[in-house]
Chains A and B, each alone.
Chain A
Amino acid sequence: MPLAIEIANIKNAKHSTETECRLVADLRIKGKLMANQDLISLETDHRVEETAERLGMSRREFLQFCAAIATSLGLPQGADAAVAEAIATKKRPSVIWLHFQECTGCTESMLRAEHPTLEKLILDVISLDYHETLFAAAGHQVEAARKTAMEENKGKYILVVEGAIPTKDGGIYCKIGGKTAIELLKECAADAAAIIAIGSCSSWGGMPSTGINPTGSSGVASVLKRPVVTIPGCPPNPYNFMSTVVHFLTFGSLPALDQLGRPKFAYSRLVHENCERRAHFDAGRFAMDFGDEGHRKGYCLYKLGCKGPETYANCPTVMFGDAGGGTWPVGCGHPCIGCTEQGVGFEKPIHAMAKMKNIEPSVFLPRIVEEKGVGSSLGSAAVLAAVAGAAAGAGAMVAKNLGLSHKAEELEQAKNKGQKANETTEV
């Protein structure tokens, strides 16, 4: 079962943060966490059964989903039961979802999640009171619905922003119902209990803000001048969004965030740290070209420009886009483009090598296939033969000359001897 595999993956990742642990411990002490701290014991709970039935999934699947949410949040054992109970019993929070400069990819990935029940769950866990893509109604009707929801849930609703906000020329580059994106955002943000910026565009400006940034695209936090929860990614994993919402639902507060407003459970580690290809990086085995021997063997993609070493995200553990185990970009053989990281995604060329945040690999690592050497070429054999021939020829000539002079000398000696002998006989 893919979900079970993912739970196992997530458990291995251990994204636990201290704050979360303390939160659960506090809840336990206060007795807020129900007596059922064991998820399995909830299987017989009628509320769980009813919820599962309502969602059109089996009871077991529902509980597994809750466990996955709890683990991806890095919560300790027992929290899964709390999550299940919260989803089964608590009033669904009202959500107002705004779309600005974006491609609707974040919504798409949420609705086209691999698990057929996830989108149902999302829509069940939250009360989606305003969403331009999903609403059947249009025009004044839908704007009225937004106003009503905001008034009814004043100070309690969650505002989700998808897409960047154009700020140039008074924000005229994005208007909905006659209002600029800036006006809409400020209006909706005023009475929101929490603001979640989903996707890289609303987190810091994302793709529309690259290059010359013609419309002055900015993130939610910079427009509102207050910190918001950001869930960057292009698109982000739906689990990261779901987990944040469920955390809010279960504990009434947002999960621990880093200095950029990103939930720590999802963005505290580099892609590089839990990457399935990390062993290849450490061993110095790199793909050098798309389709080369190393690429086919699944070697590290660092030299093809993988931005995993400078990108904070939990893609290696929860997989990118919830498209199923092993199907995230690196798993498919494409380098991470760093979509969650401002200054990396859409900013650096895909082929450019990442700036290592920890140790840089040596440039003197072996190639994928070592050349085993070439034999003699016609030219090299000829040169060697020429040298050998010249040496042999010269040697033979020297030897011949030496031999000749030796012979001549010996003849002369013999002649001298003969002469001497003659002389002696004459005398």
Chain B
Amino acid sequence: MSVHSHAAPEPVGGKLFNTATFILGILVAVMFAILIVRFIFGLGAVTNLNDGYPWGIWVVVDVVIGSAFACGGFSVAMLVYIFNKGQYHPLVRPALLASLFGYTLAGVGVLFDLGRWWNFWHILWPTYANPNSVMFEVALCISAYIIVMWIEFSPVFMEKWGMKVQKQKLEKVLFFFIALGTLLPMMHQSSLGTLLVVMGPQVNPLWQTPIVPLLYLLSAITIGYGIVLFESCVTAAAYRRQIEMHLLQPMAKVMLGVLAVFVALRAGDLIVRGALGHAFAPSLEAFFFWLEIGCFLMPFLLIGSQGARRNPAMLFLAGCSIMMGGILMRINGFLIGYDTGLGVDHGWNYFPSIAEMLVTIGMFAIEILAYIIITRRFPVLPREEAQAAH
């Protein structure tokens, strides 16, 4: 996969059936039950969506947040392959695995939210496609990226099933897919922000700005690193493995750098546009704005010093904090700061129904379940002894 020599990844092993996978399996089953109802009786039967809020958590959480959480693979790949920081290579496969499922499920999750879901293929069919649409760009990029990621990740399966010849052939052209895999998320992560630009004055000025695509891209990269911190710590804790502290420490520093650029841009934009006043209004929007900003500033407090960065607990909390910031930023823009009535037509309201939430929970359960199964059975995580030898 690269010229850098590292400990070869290997399956973690262990039992597949335990309490965790059992609970996850139940959550997934519940999700499928709700989806059957949804696909037969329509969106109105299970969701709280309405004309004022046609997008609920299935779009905002499953797709927009889900795909941002899946940026770990992209962020680490960018570090390794674009900035040639080969030492991070052991982080690529686990990050890519999380991304793979994050994106695949985000792509599938869009289908749940389509009123006439059986027409889903129209968006990519040449005679139906609308190349001037932001949604088209997002749909095209995400579907292309899903395919690219499966190709990027396929060496894992090839190693497992002993397809040496095919793997060699693939590795000759893999650089092309890796390049694509870095380009495509940049395109659609920014386009997800463009959706807010398109919504215009319906979105609160705190989240609607011409540079929102750039902010979404930067925050997605930051979240990508945040998720790697989170995932490495959780994996280490769950599988009782060593944490790759020697990799996470410098990566956390990179993350803080990108985060600083993001926060500066976010603040600068608000000041230049004169939108900061909205942050001091006694409103729900303002409260959630400060909560979001707080989450983005928290990592500086937590892991600002070299000493703090040595503590995995701090790295973990910083990762959580960034993820929380990313969640809030997207929920704020798409739901809390969104007013379809433009302040004139009052009374529009949305809060996810239990069924809606259970589907979203089920989606994340699939991701975790798949992560557990694949890391236990396929060579994804670095070999433990090799780790110790480092």
Query: A379 contacts which chain B residues (CB < 8 A)?
Result: 354
> Does B316 sit at the interface, judged by CB under 8 A?
yes
Contact assessment for A372 and B237 in the assembled complex, using a CB-CB cutoff below 8 Å? no
Contact assessment for A372 and B50 in the assembled complex, using a CB-CB cutoff below 8 Å? yes
Mark interface residues in A100-132 (1 if CB within 8 Å of B CB, else 0).
Answer: 000000000000000000000000000000000
- Kindly provide the distance from the CB of A112 to the nearest chain B CB, expressed in whole angstroms: 49
CA distance A380 to B352 in the complex (A): 7
Contact assessment for B50 and A398 in the assembled complex, using a CB-CB cutoff below 8 Å? no
Contact assessment for B51 and A366 in the assembled complex, using a CB-CB cutoff below 8 Å? yes
> Does B133 sit at the interface, judged by CB under 8 A?
no
- Kindly provide the distance from the CB of B321 to the nearest chain A CB, expressed in whole angstroms: 10
Mark interface residues in A365-382 (1 if CB within 8 Å of B CB, else 0).
Answer: 010001111111101110
Query: B234 contacts which chain A residues (CB < 8 A)?
Result: 398
CA distance A372 to B346 in the complex (A): 9
- Kindly provide the distance from the CB of B62 to the nearest chain A CB, expressed in whole angstroms: 14
CA distance A366 to B54 in the complex (A): 14
Q: Which of B52, B313, B361 contacts A402 (CB 8 A)?
A: B313
Query: A402 contacts which chain B residues (CB < 8 A)?
Result: 233, 236-237, 243, 311-313, 316
- Kindly provide the distance from the CB of B118 to the nearest chain A CB, expressed in whole angstroms: 14
Query: A380 contacts which chain B residues (CB < 8 A)?
Result: 48, 351-354, 357
> Does B343 sit at the interface, judged by CB under 8 A?
no
Contact assessment for B349 and A374 in the assembled complex, using a CB-CB cutoff below 8 Å? yes
Q: Which of B50, B357, B361 contacts A373 (CB 8 A)?
A: B50
Contact assessment for B316 and A399 in the assembled complex, using a CB-CB cutoff below 8 Å? yes
CA distance A406 to B358 in the complex (A): 36
Query: B361 contacts which chain A residues (CB < 8 A)?
Result: 387
Mark interface residues in A193-225 (1 if CB within 8 Å of B CB, else 0).
Answer: 000000000000000000000000000000000
Query: A384 contacts which chain B residues (CB < 8 A)?
Result: 352, 357
> Does B350 sit at the interface, judged by CB under 8 A?
yes
- Kindly provide the distance from the CB of A272 to the nearest chain B CB, expressed in whole angstroms: 28
CA distance A366 to B52 in the complex (A): 12
> Does A401 sit at the interface, judged by CB under 8 A?
yes
Query: A399 contacts which chain B residues (CB < 8 A)?
Result: 313, 316-317
Q: Which of B51, B233, B317, B354 contacts A383 (CB 8 A)?
A: B354
> Does A361 sit at the interface, judged by CB under 8 A?
no
> Does A403 sit at the interface, judged by CB under 8 A?
yes
Contact assessment for B311 and A406 in the assembled complex, using a CB-CB cutoff below 8 Å? yes
Query: B48 contacts which chain A residues (CB < 8 A)?
Result: 373-374, 380
> Does B290 sit at the interface, judged by CB under 8 A?
no
CA distance A213 to B352 in the complex (A): 58
Contact assessment for B320 and A395 in the assembled complex, using a CB-CB cutoff below 8 Å? yes
Q: Which residue of A lies closest to B345 (CB)?
A: A372
> Does A60 sit at the interface, judged by CB under 8 A?
no
With A379-B354, A383-B354 known to touch, is A371 a contact of B50 (CB < 8 Å)? yes
- Kindly provide the distance from the CB of A369 to the nearest chain B CB, expressed in whole angstroms: 11
Contact assessment for A373 and B313 in the assembled complex, using a CB-CB cutoff below 8 Å? no
Query: A376 contacts which chain B residues (CB < 8 A)?
Result: 351
Contact assessment for A373 and B320 in the assembled complex, using a CB-CB cutoff below 8 Å? no
Give the one of A376, A384, A398, A400 with max B CB within 10 A: A398
- Kindly provide the distance from the CB of B356 to the nearest chain A CB, expressed in whole angstroms: 8
Query: B112 contacts which chain A residues (CB < 8 A)?
Result: none
Mark interface residues in B331-361 (1 if CB within 8 Å of A CB, else 0).
Answer: 0000000000000000111111110011001
CA distance A160 to B367 in the complex (A): 83
CA distance A290 to B316 in the complex (A): 62
Q: Which residue of A lies closest to B315 (CB)?
A: A402
Query: B237 contacts which chain A residues (CB < 8 A)?
Result: 398, 401-402
Contact assessment for A374 and B312 in the assembled complex, using a CB-CB cutoff below 8 Å? no
Q: Which residue of A lies closest to B352 (CB)?
A: A380
- Kindly provide the distance from the CB of A403 to the nearest chain B CB, expressed in whole angstroms: 4
Name A1-31 residues within 8 Å CB distance of B: none
Contact assessment for A372 and B52 in the assembled complex, using a CB-CB cutoff below 8 Å? yes
> Does B288 sit at the interface, judged by CB under 8 A?
no
CA distance A60 to B123 in the complex (A): 68
Q: Which residue of A lies closest to B53 (CB)?
A: A373
Contact assessment for B351 and A406 in the assembled complex, using a CB-CB cutoff below 8 Å? no
CA distance A331 to B237 in the complex (A): 75
CA distance A398 to B233 in the complex (A): 8
- Kindly provide the distance from the CB of B76 to the nearest chain A CB, expressed in whole angstroms: 21
Mark interface residues in A238-280 (1 if CB within 8 Å of B CB, else 0).
Answer: 0000000000000000000000000000000000000000000
Query: A400 contacts which chain B residues (CB < 8 A)?
Result: 313
Q: Which residue of B lies closest to A398 (CB)?
A: B237
Q: Which residue of A lies closest to B346 (CB)?
A: A372
CA distance A406 to B316 in the complex (A): 12
Query: A366 contacts which chain B residues (CB < 8 A)?
Result: 51
Query: A372 contacts which chain B residues (CB < 8 A)?
Result: 50-52, 347-349
Query: B317 contacts which chain A residues (CB < 8 A)?
Result: 395, 399
Query: B316 contacts which chain A residues (CB < 8 A)?
Result: 395, 398-399, 402
With A403-B311, A403-B313 known to touch, is A370 a contact of B51 (CB < 8 Å)? yes
- Kindly provide the distance from the CB of B50 to the nearest chain A CB, expressed in whole angstroms: 4
Contact assessment for B349 and A387 in the assembled complex, using a CB-CB cutoff below 8 Å? no
CA distance A370 to B341 in the complex (A): 13
Name A383-427 residues within 8 Å CB distance of B: 383-384, 387, 395, 398-403, 405-406
With A387-B361, A395-B320, A398-B233 known to touch, is A406 a contact of B51 (CB < 8 Å)? no
CA distance A415 to B150 in the complex (A): 47
Name A316-372 residues within 8 Å CB distance of B: 366, 370-372
Contact assessment for A387 and B357 in the assembled complex, using a CB-CB cutoff below 8 Å? yes
Query: A405 contacts which chain B residues (CB < 8 A)?
Result: 312
CA distance A362 to B233 in the complex (A): 54
CA distance A99 to B54 in the complex (A): 62
CA distance A387 to B363 in the complex (A): 14
With A370-B50, A375-B349, A395-B320 known to touch, is A383 a contact of B313 (CB < 8 Å)? no
CA distance A403 to B315 in the complex (A): 10
Query: B52 contacts which chain A residues (CB < 8 A)?
Result: 370, 372-373
Query: A381 contacts which chain B residues (CB < 8 A)?
Result: 351
- Kindly provide the distance from the CB of B346 to the nearest chain A CB, expressed in whole angstroms: 9
Contact assessment for A373 and B358 in the assembled complex, using a CB-CB cutoff below 8 Å? no
CA distance A370 to B243 in the complex (A): 54
- Kindly provide the distance from the CB of A260 to the nearest chain B CB, expressed in whole angstroms: 42
Query: A403 contacts which chain B residues (CB < 8 A)?
Result: 311-313
CA distance A395 to B230 in the complex (A): 10
Query: A374 contacts which chain B residues (CB < 8 A)?
Result: 48, 349, 351
Give the one of B310, B313, B349, B353 with max A CB within 10 A: B313
Query: A373 contacts which chain B residues (CB < 8 A)?
Result: 48-50, 52-53, 348-351
- Kindly provide the distance from the CB of A303 to the nearest chain B CB, expressed in whole angstroms: 19
Query: A383 contacts which chain B residues (CB < 8 A)?
Result: 354, 357-358
What are 6 contact pairs spanning A and B, CB under 8 A? Answer: A370-B50, A373-B52, A395-B317, A398-B316, A402-B236, A403-B312
Other A-B pairs beyond A372-B52, A384-B357, A387-B357, 17, CB < 8 Å:
A372-B51, A372-B348, A372-B349, A373-B349, A373-B351, A376-B351, A377-B353, A379-B354, A380-B352, A380-B353, A381-B351, A399-B313, A399-B317, A401-B237, A402-B233, A402-B311, A403-B312
Enumerate chain A interface residues (CB-CB to B < 8 A). 366, 370-377, 379-381, 383-384, 387, 395, 398-403, 405-406
Query: Can you list the 7 inter-chain pairs with the closest CB atoms, starting with the nearest?
Result: A403-B313, A376-B351, A373-B349, A402-B313, A373-B50, A402-B312, A372-B347
